[in-house]
Amino acid sequence: MTTLPPSLASIRDELDATTTRLHALVDTMDDSTWRARPGTDRWSAAECVEHLNMTSRAYLPILRDALRDGRARGLTQAGGSNRMDLMGWFLAKMLEPPVKRMRVTTSEPFAAPPVAPRAGVVSEYETLQRSLIEFLTAADGLALSRIKIASPFNAKMRYSVYSAYRVIAAHQRRHLWQAEQARDAMRAVSR
């Protein structure tokens, strides 16, 4: 495993932890619980994970292009120290579970699609996580706090690549928490 500076190693660890959390979730439910919605306006565990896959698929080309641009512009940084910008900090804070009062409506392009079989959804999640981590590892030495991207959710929102990684990890925790809540609600109904 590549040695990363602490600011990037902690992100890698957070992404690894969400993969572990996903496996703990899917290993505790059958296919009907996986697909069942706990309410008409609530997502199933499967839809939560599908949404995370859609989000990672949207972020990966943005991150790839931003890192390529950062290298081309010579935006390097010795020591790898990075900081979140204000927009990234706000988004990560807002997304972090447990969700309190504020519900966020997902924009149409990221609404959960029809659900594929569980094994395929989990396999895709793992593949996308590996890609996110590969990009993060390849970004070592770049000044990620100075390389800006537009959010795939709202092109008017801009934040740094470093903040994007923090937002991605918080977003994953939020929807895995939501998936756990869906599983628990369906278990309560079946008792």
The secondary structure of residue 106, as a DSSP letter, is P
Q: Are 66 and 137 in contact (CB under 8 A)?
A: no
The answer, yes or no, to whether residue 53 has pLDDT greater than 60, is yes
The answer, yes or no, to whether residue 155 has pLDDT greater than 60, is yes
pTM: 0.91
The answer, yes or no, to whether residue 80 has pLDDT greater than 90, is no
CA distances from 147 to 30, 83, 132, 134 (A): 43, 12, 16, 18
Q: Are 166 and 88 in contact (CB under 8 A)?
A: yes
Question: In CATH, what number is assigned to the domain containing residue 68?
Answer: 1.20.120.450
Q: Give the model's confidence band at 102: pLDDT under 50 very low, under 70 low, under 90 confident, else very high.
A: low
Task: Round to whole Å and give the CA distance between 26 and 44.
Answer: 12
| Predicted confidence (pLDDT) per residue in 23-32, tens digit | 999 999 999 9
Does 174 map to a domain? yes
Q: Are 124 and 53 in contact (CB under 8 A)?
A: yes
Does 1 map to a domain? no
Does 61 map to a domain? yes
Domain count, the chain: 1
Does 76 map to a domain? yes
| Predicted confidence (pLDDT) per residue in 1-12, tens digit | 568 899 999 999
- The pair of three-digit structure tokens given for residue 187, joined into one six-digit string: 């278990």
Q: Which domain holds residue 74?
A: 6-190
